[in-house]
Amino acid sequence: MSILVNQQQFHLTNGKISYVFHVLKNAQLGHLYFGKALRPDRDYTHFEKYHNPTPASCHTYEDDPAFSLETIRQEYPVYGKGDFREPAILMSQEQKSVANFVYKSHDILEGKPPISGLPATYAASSEAETVLIVLEDVYSGVELHLSYTIFANEAVIARNSRVVNKSTTALSVERMMSLSIDLPDAEMDLLHLSGTWSRERHVKTRPLEQGIQSISSIRGASSHHHNPFLALKAKDATEHTGEVFGFQFVYSGNFLAQTEVDHYGVARVQLGIHPIGFEWNLAPGEAFQSPEAVMVYSGEGLNGMSQTFHQLYRNQLIREQWKTAERPVLINNWEATYFDFNEEKLIHFAKEAKELGVELFVLDDGWFGKRNDDRTSLGDWFVDREKLPAGIASLASKVKQAGLKFGLWFEPEMISVDSDLYREHPEWAVGVPEENYTLGRNQRVLDYTNPIVVDTIFERMRAIIQETDLDYIKWDMNRNITEAYSAGLDHQGEFFHRYILGVYDLYERLTSEFPNVLFESCAGGGGRFDPALLYYAPQAWASDDTDAVERLKIQYGTSMAYPIYSIGSHVSAVPNHQTLRSTPLSLRADVAYFGTFGYELDPSSLSNEEKEIVKEQIRRYKSFRPLVRDGSFIRLQSPFEGNETAWMIVSSDQKEAIVGWYKASSTPNPRTNQVLKLKGLHHDLAYQVESRTYYGDELMQNGLPLPIEFNGANEAFAERGGDFQSKVFYLKALY
Ligand code: GLA
């Protein structure tokens, strides 16, 4: 891996990718190339593409009408110098509205400097190299610091930007993207992960067109509706072949991710904090730091892109102790009891779960304050003595005596109007004074821009963690932010970002003081499933929708960018509480295996036969858990394209694999010789699959035989028909 500098041309390369940019003749930064690695010893200035001037274009030099910022590909464009596409940065300052950032200096560093106060990918000095470019606004002296990191082993560039007010007057930043890149060819499809509560991260694809196509959130959270991720896929790219560019914003708040296609078919991709609700004020000497954005190049289709994201997040984002630690099989009481429980019921629940092989018992909402429904007590993080008279420590120790780890649900960012905390500090709730506030799940949001609020919640959580010797926290966040206002802020345009900084501060303090507590993030299910939270919470509750058929889509979509070992996926009771659909226990487990496995049901409700099945499911998951953690996940068949879904995981030495196959509804008179063509195996290894042996090339070229289904006449297969079929195969190389 290296960063080569030649005549003000910067070439970041690691043998997999190249990223090339240079200082333009007007001293701004121009973009030259991002894609498959190019030879390092070349000047790529000729990649600059000038267009013939038209009567309508504006140009910089009288004697060079082709030098028009309107068409030149740039690294961090500004508005007002002839480029009429959307800029990466917008600032306003008294008596000045146009910025002109020109190259001043650069510095090359080993490794990757951390971004203070913000979660980001990290790298040891041998794992990455970073170039920091300093640009200066010729009019005001304001500096822009652009950071580019290339990793030794991944086809990824990580970027962030920082503006430093070196001028003598105050400055207001109105738009500040973390990344901007002008790709030369817009003949691509835009792929994004969108949906809503209970059907998060569905895969959506549409062709790029001249103009802006964007996804975003202005909800105060990265949102159920759009994930801060987009991919641009060449028209001929598939799951396994062709060029794909993947982009992701490492941030949990308001975001904008957009592609603007110009009149010459150049695609400008930008990711950053959403400019709506954002205005940051900088006195002379102050600086504003953007969050990180990462971009991936894949020459091997969408799967190639996903595997790079998975590797990046596993190796360079998830904190050290959770990279290799096995995630416990958990049981959560929410759908089993909702708010209706007492100590006896919970201990019984935990003991039964232990019998089944569960390792962690999670007590969800309702253990604190006087919370018998969702109208009360958020903020009162003291045990409810009516439900649990012996206290939370007593419950924790009994659960631990039963041989399980103990976890608790918190919703640390929220406050109920009916709570002691609100009665004491109504001013701690976000909202414009004297105005009606908008409700969401009967609760209000705590003002995390106020450090005293963050301190108070930290102290309360710390006390509970210590008292219970807690092993796990499910950190929920169930409503979006309205009436964004804090009395403590001079500039309300800073509210949303400062709020998220407060959330990161609390996460940072808790994870530093309690590194062995496993955090699972949650926001009404998957409303804040983003890489920034993965930095603190290595797993996330993917969706409140636990229906296995729906989960196929949710987990398939989530796998586009996130390692499957971060996807919280549980077996729940039937009829399913979200869809009222009844699916077999086998399907529910076969889907949940491909994530962090657990149960969301009352073990006492299981028949003896079902208990035996669950025991076997847990034993099975434990047997391939390291593969779920370390293996390469490969999507084979999309639930968005048909009735069947398939995916697999292969170990890095290709000696082991698991394959999941699912069929949502039955087919009349199905074919009997159906096969599934696998990927990623070793051609010459012989794999044992159940009682048979196949070579890797057979499984990939000819396919793995799927179960023979009932067709109305073949009585011998009468048990293998109907809707909701599934099968998980385990493959082990013999020789
Ligand atoms: C949210 C979560 C659920 C559960 C409830 C508790 O909806 O997503 O899993 O924890 O809150 O109120």
pLDDT single digits (tens) 497-520: 999 999 999 999 999 999 999 999
Q: Are strands 405-410 and 414-415 parallel, antiparallel or unpaired?
A: unpaired
Confidence of residue 338 (pLDDT cuts 50, 70, 90): very high
The mean-pLDDT minimum among 49-53, 162-166, 530-534 falls in: 49-53
Please give the distance, rounded to the nearest whole angstrom, from the Cα atom of residue 572 to the centre of ligand 1.
Answer: 14
Which pLDDT score, from 0 to 100, does residue 94 have?
79
More confident residue, 281 or 435: 281
Q: Which residue of 476, 480, 521, 601 sits with most ligand 1 atoms within 8 Å of its CB, as the best mutation to test the pocket? A: 476
Q: Nearest 5°: phi and psi at 564?
A: -70, -20
For residue 476, give the nearest of 527, 418, 430 by alpha carbon. 527
What pLDDT, on the 0 to 100 scale, is given for residue 610?
98
CA pair distance 580, 566, nearest whole angstrom: 27
Contact by Cβ (8 Å): 660, 555 = no
Ligand 1 atom closest to Cα of residue 544: 8
Instruction: Find tokens 């999670």 and name the residue.
Output: 362
pLDDT at 97 over 80: no
Closest CA to 273 of 118, 169, 166: 118
The answer to whether 413 touches 477, Cβ cutoff 8 Å, is: yes
Q: What six digits make up the tokens of 26? A: 């007007």
Q: Please say if 723 is a catalytic residue.
A: no
pLDDT number for residue 49? 79
Structure tokens at 628: 């779920």
Between the CA of 480 and the centroid of ligand 1 the distance, in Å, is: 14
87 secondary structure, DSSP code:
P
Alpha carbon 554 to its chain centroid, in Å, reads 13
Question: Which listed residue (418, 544, 547, 602) is catalytic?
Answer: 544
Give the phi and the psi of residue 626 in degrees, each rounded to 5: -60, -30
Least confident interval from 247-256, 430-439, 574-583, 626-635: 430-439
DSSP 325-358: SPPPPEEE-HHHHTT---HHHHHHHHHHHHHHT-
Tell me what pLDDT residue 672 has.
83
Residue range 617-669, pLDDT digits in tens = 999 999 999 999 999 999 999 999 999 999 999 999 999 999 999 999 999 99
Establish whether residue 522 lines the binding site of ligand 1, counting it when its CB lies within 6 angstroms of any ligand atom: yes
H or E segment to which residue 256 belongs = strand 255-261
From the list 402, 444, 450, the residue with the least C-alpha distance to 422 is 444
What average pLDDT does the chain have?
Answer: 96
For residue 714, what pLDDT is reported?
83
Predicted confidence (pLDDT) at residue 528 exceeds the cutoff of 80 = yes
Reference 293, options 273, 322, 266, 320; nearest CA is: 273
Of all residues in the chain, the percent with pLDDT exceeding 90 is 93
Contact 513, 519 (CB under 8 A): no
Does the pLDDT value for residue 719 go beyond 80?
no
Q: What is the CA radius of gyration of the chain?
A: 27
Non-local CB neighbours of 102 within 8 Å, separated by 6+ positions? 26, 27, 28, 135, 136, 137, 138
Cβ atoms of residues 37 and 13 within 8 Å:
yes
Please give the span between the terminal C-alpha atoms of the chain, in angstroms, as a whole number: 36
Residues 119, 250: Cα–Cα separation, whole Å: 7
Choose which residue among 522, 569, 596, 599 to substitute to test ligand 1 binding: the one with the highest number of ligand atoms within 8 A of its C-beta. 522
Span from the CA of 462 to the centroid of ligand 1 (angstroms)? 22
Question: 366 with 336: CB under 8 angstroms?
Answer: no
10 Å CB burial of residue 401 (0-12, 13-18, 19+) is: exposed
Q: Which 3 state secondary structure label does DSSP give 101?
A: strand
d(CA 225, CA 688): 42
User: What number of CA atoms fall less than 13 Å from residue 370's CA on the CB side?
Assistant: 6
What confidence score (pLDDT) does residue 435 get? 79
Rounded to whole angstroms, the Cα distance separating 389 from 391 reads 5
Which residues contact residue 155 at a Cβ distance below 8 angstroms, ignoring those fewer than 6 apart? 14, 16, 17, 296, 297, 298, 308
CB of residue 568 inside a 6 A radius of ligand 1: no
Percent of the chain exceeding pLDDT 70 equals 100
CB-ligand 1 contact for 475 (6 Å cutoff):
no
Distance CA 28, CA 25 (A): 7
Cα–Cα distance between 218 and 695 in angstroms, integer? 52
- List, for residues 240-285, the tens digit of each pLDDT value: 999 999 999 999 999 999 999 999 999 999 999 999 999 999 999 9
Q: SS3 for 513?
A: helix
What pLDDT sits at residue 381? Answer: 98
For residue 721, pLDDT over 90 is answered with no
Q: Check if 476 is active-site.
A: yes
For residue 78, give the nearest of 1, 140, 159, 123 by alpha carbon: 140
- Mean pLDDT of all residues in 348-369: 98
Mean pLDDT over 327-332 rounds to: 98
Q: Does the CB atom of residue 478 touch ligand 1 within 6 A?
A: yes
Specify the ligand 1 atom closest to the Cα of 523: 8
Assess whether pLDDT exceeds 80 at residue 96.
Answer: no
As a whole number, mean pLDDT of residues 346-351 equals 98
Mean pLDDT, residues 581-608 taken together? 97
Number of H helices, E strands in the chain: 13, 38
Predicted pLDDT at 52: 82
> Distance of alpha carbon 200 from its chain centroid, rounded?
12
CB 251 within 8 A of CB 500: yes
Identify the pLDDT of residue 401.
98
- Please give the number of the atom of ligand 1 that sits closest to the Cα of 374: 12
Pocket residue to mutate for ligand 1, from 373, 544, 578, most atoms within 8 A of Cβ: 544
Overall average pLDDT of the 364-369 stretch: 98
Tell me how far the alpha carbon of residue 393 lies from the centroid of ligand 1, in angstroms. 23
DSSP H or E run through 361: strand 360-363
Would you say the C-alpha torsion 62, 182, 89, 21 has a positive or negative sign?
negative
- Angle in degrees, CA 139, 142, 143, rounded to 5: 125
| Token digits of residue 89 | 């940065």
In the block, tokens 């419950």 appear at 395
In this structure, the residue with its CA closest to atom 2 of ligand 1 is 524
Q: Is the CB of 365 inside a 6 Å radius of any atom of ligand 1?
A: yes
Going by C-alpha positions, the residue among 201, 148, 173 that lies closest to residue 2 is 148
What is the per-residue pLDDT for 197? 98
Mapping DSSP onto H, E and C, the string for 613-648 reads HHHHHHHHHHHHHHHHHHCEEEEEECCCCCCEEEEE
Does residue 603 have a pLDDT over 90?
yes
Give yes or no for a cis peptide into 575 (omega within 30° of 0): yes
Token representation of residue 140: 């005001």
Q: How confident is the model at residue 54 (pLDDT cuts 50, 70, 90)?
A: confident
- Which residue type is seen at 341? F
Exactly one of 384, 447, 476, 590 is catalytic; which is it? 476
Indicate whether residue 430 lines ligand 1 (CB < 6 A): no
Distance, CA of 528 to CA of 520 (rounded, Å): 11
CB 621 within 8 A of CB 329: yes
The pLDDT, as a whole number, for residue 711 is: 84
Asked whether the beta carbons of 59 and 165 are under 8 A apart, the reply is no
pTM flag (> 0.75): yes
Q: Is residue 409 in contact with ligand 1, taking CB distance under 6 Å?
A: yes
Using a 6 Å cutoff on CB, does residue 520 contact ligand 1? no
pLDDT digits (tens, 9 = 90+) for 440-496: 999 999 999 999 999 999 999 999 999 999 999 999 999 999 999 999 999 999 999
- Is the pLDDT at 605 greater than 90, yes or no? yes
